[in-house]
Structure 1
Amino acid sequence: MVESINRTISTPIWDKSSIARILPDGTFNYKPKRDLNGIIQCRSTIDQEACIYADNVRKLRQHEYDSAILYTDKENEIAAQNERSEQDFIKYFNRIISTRHPNSSDSIIVNWRRVGELLKMYSQGQPIPFKAISVKLLEDIKMFLLRAPMGGNKKGTISQNTASTYFSILKAGLKQAFIDEYLTVDISAKVKGITNIEKPRVALTMNEVQMLVDTPCKDDVLKRAFFFSILTGLRHSDIQTLKWKQIQQTSKGTWQAVVIQQKTKRPD
């Protein structure tokens, strides 16, 4: 769009090194000389002031145009954020289970779904809009999880370690919500997790092992698998994935199972 400022000039200084076009008679039209700021140079003071005035108007209009674009973008961003902040976190949490864990084990899926159920129980069936999520709310949910009921037909409350796992899952959901721009602050990083209680591992004595050897078992395969685990120290999950190529003979003629164990990541 061209805006008229009712100014004309008649004394521009032509740049003989910059040809604008060649006329039919073979003569040249030249471009006007400009200073470092791009303002046309004139011989007349009045014409020079007109060019400076025109450039100031151009700068003003450019600033207005840029500001209008930025303001519109900012308005749209604020409107979109306000709309997201009104949405229900519980619905969002249940929705991302399938997208976040498409190939996860059943136990992981079950834990995420259970956390969704407990969130609904905590809110008494009411939605939890993203705008209501705060450090205070998360601390309140943490206390709720520490006394949350067990699932299924079991009686009593969940253990502290289970509550720790559930709260870590909740924090993972909040972290994803921050990535998806439902939250403007990574609030999951502002709240500490629930401490895990280390449980002592109890080992069988040789006398107890011998008693088990002497105890009859209807399933011979189960019994042999059990003692294979005891004698090798391998976990049930490692035995399930064990391949024949992992059974190797040592230089002394004995046999060993070569297994690289991957530690289970502890929830935050």
Structure 2
Amino acid sequence: MKISLKQKKLKNGLVSLYLEFYKGSYVDKNGKRKHQREFEYLELYISQNPSSQDKLKDQETLKLAEEILAIRKADVIQGKYQIKNARKSKIRFLDYFEQLKEERYNSKGNYGNWDAALKHLRKYCHPSTTFKDINENFIKGFKKYLDTGARTKSNLELSQNSKYSYFNKFKAALKEAYENGYLEKNLLKSVKGFDQGESKREYLTYSELQALTKAKCKYEILKNAFIFSCLTGLRWSDINNMTWSEVRDEDSGSRIIFRQQKTDGQEYLYISDQARELLGKRQSESERVFTGLKYGAHFNAEILRWCMRAGLTKHITFHSARHTNAVLLLENGADIYTVSKRLGHKEIRTTEIYAKIIDKKMKEAANIIPELKV
């Protein structure tokens, strides 16, 4: 592989410095030669027509780019001849994990899991631990800590899915460290991870939701937002941040065009006439649809009190409204692919959990008929 320092002129009068990794060429099935190149943009810039003041600064920038080029070439040589990189083995593991966490900042849900895993690693791992200190016993020790020693903020044992998630983040960090030369060998081969647990998804039946709509809720905005979630499947974060610019009233009906907070994916969601009525009269485009909605213990407690007034004993949270939407759609004939798309799931297997709930209800229905006296 050949690594070169390249320059690209930009429209703003600057020159972008980047590295080209040339990995050779091959002839495709049509007889055309294809060249394999990868690029690393250094985010370093020099002037196209430097002034006398810029020349010295540009020389320093070029020198820095050439030093990075030398480091990349050295990394390739170390990998080719299996030369141990002593510098990388002395990097502190927690610092490395922190860096990987920050790289995932724009992925909100994923970032939160990495942050939670790091908090537990700080309790288990000594701050001075470097990659040369990491072995199979270290990995097994962290797994045992998650399984038997780790506690939540409420001093409870971690759920099965929390163990599964945190250990997976830990494994992902070690895998990346091995691929980038911080570890000499893959230590994960002999360590089995946690099995993923199937979380209970509390939901409301149609009759329970009907009872809830008739019951008094102290906060009308909370009641409307919760029922809106039951009818649309939208998450709390998307409902809370929804502005009138995202609500489109069209000839064929109404729909919400928004960027999903959890996945950052652009979504186009048609809503029923009844769901649209819950939004009320259109306001200015920048104004939030559900003004005054707050997330916290006070509103969560009111949801439980509201359920009690409706005669419901289930432990319902705002997120239960999303589960309710999925179950009601499937019960009333929607196919699982459509439900998956409406909920914004990336994988169909996430939606299949709701299909299992419906199967259980079918089994329950088999015993509804009173026993015959034979």
Residues 97 and 200 of structure 1: CA distance in aligned 2, closer, same or farther (over 3 Å): closer
Residue 96 of structure 1 pairs with residue 178 of structure 2: no
Aligned match of 2:115: 113
- Provide the C-alpha distance between the structure 2 equivalents of 1:217 and 1:186, rounded to a whole number of angstroms: 56
Letter in 2 for 1:164: Y
Partners of 1:172 and 1:188 within 8 A in 2: no
Q: Deviation string for 1:46-104 (max 9, x for gaps)?
A: xxxxxxxxxxxxxxxxxxxxxxxxxxx66xx7775133223321222123322x22423
Label 1:218 to 1:187 Cα distance change in 2 as closer, same or farther (>3 A): same
Unpaired runs of at least 5, structure 1: 1-72
| Shift in CA distance, 126/235, structure 1 to aligned 2, threshold 3 Å | closer
Contact 1:146 1:159 in 2 (8 A): no
Q: Against the structure 1 CA distance between its residues 205 and 262, is the aligned structure 2 distance closer, same or farther, given a 3 Å change threshold?
A: closer
1:168-183 matches, within 5 Å, as 168-183=168-183
Deviation at 1:260, TM superposition (A): 4.3
Deviation at 1:170, TM superposition (A): 0.8
Q: Judge which range, 232-241 or 208-217, deviates more.
A: 232-241
Q: 1:170-213, CA deviations, whole angstroms, 9 ceiling, x for partnerless residues? A: 11211221233102334346543211111243332334223312
Measured against aligned partners, the alpha-carbon deviations of 1:19-67 in whole angstroms (never above 9, x if no partner) come to xxxxxxxxxxxxxxxxxxxxxxxxxxxxxxxxxxxxxxxxxxxxxxxxx
Amino acid across the alignment from 2:217: C
CA contact (8 A) 1:217 1:223 kept: yes
- Provide the rounded CA distance (Å) in 1 between the counterparts of 2:118 and 2:229: 36
Deviation of 1:165 (Å) = 0.9
Cα distance in structure 2, aligned partners of 1:198 and 1:234? 22
Larger Rg: 1
Instruction: Give the direction of change, closer, same or farther, for the CA distance of 1:246–1:88 in structure 2 (3 Å limit).
Output: farther
Instruction: Give TM-score, length-normalised by structure 2.
Output: 0.42
Tell me by how many angstroms 1:151 deviates: 4.2
CA 1:159–1:179 in structure 2 vs 1: closer, same or farther (change >3 Å)?
same
Q: How do residues 1-268 of structure 1 correspond to structure 2 at under 5 angstroms?
A: 81-98=85-102, 100-105=103-108, 107-123=109-125, 125-152=126-153, 154-188=154-188, 191-237=191-237, 239=239, 243-245=246-248, 248-249=252-253, 255=272, 260-263=342-345
* Inter-CA distance 185–246: structure 2 relative to 1 (3 Å threshold): farther
What does residue 64 of structure 2 align with? none
Partners in 1 of 2:118 and 2:215 — Cα distance? 44
Following superposition, the deviation at residue 216 of structure 1 comes to 1.5
Q: Deviations over 1:138-160 (max 9, x none)?
A: 122111111243344x2222111
Higher strand share: 2
1:217-247: CA deviations, max 9, x gaps? 2322221121122234444455456943487
Which amino acid counterpart does residue 138 of structure 1 have in structure 2? I
SS of residue in 2 equivalent to 1:147: helix
User: Structure 1 residues 102, 114: CA separation in 2 closer, same or farther (over 3 Å shift)?
Assistant: closer
For the residue of structure 2 that corresponds to 1:211, the secondary structure is helix
Does the CA-based 8 Å contact 2:92-2:127 persist in structure 1? no
CA RMSD of aligned residues (A): 3.6
Listed one character per residue, the Cα deviations across residues 98-155 of structure 1 (whole Å, up to 9, x for unaligned) are: 2x224232x54343233223223223x3533212323343122111111243344x22
DSSP-derived class of the 1:109 partner: helix
Q: Against the structure 1 CA distance between its residues 108 and 245, is the aligned structure 2 distance closer, same or farther, given a 3 Å change threshold?
A: same
Distance 1:210 1:102 in 2: 40
Q: CA deviation at 1:162?
A: 0.8
The count of residues paired between Structure 1 and Structure 2 equals 187
Give the SS at the match of 1:187: coil
Give me the whole-angstrom Cα distance separating, in 1, the residues matched to 2:118 and 2:183: 18
Quote the Cα distance in structure 2 between the aligned partners of 1:246 and 1:163. Answer: 44
Equivalent residue of 2:85, what SS?
A: helix
- Relative to 1, partners in 2 of residues 1:129 and 1:78: Cα closer, same or farther, differing over 3 Å? farther
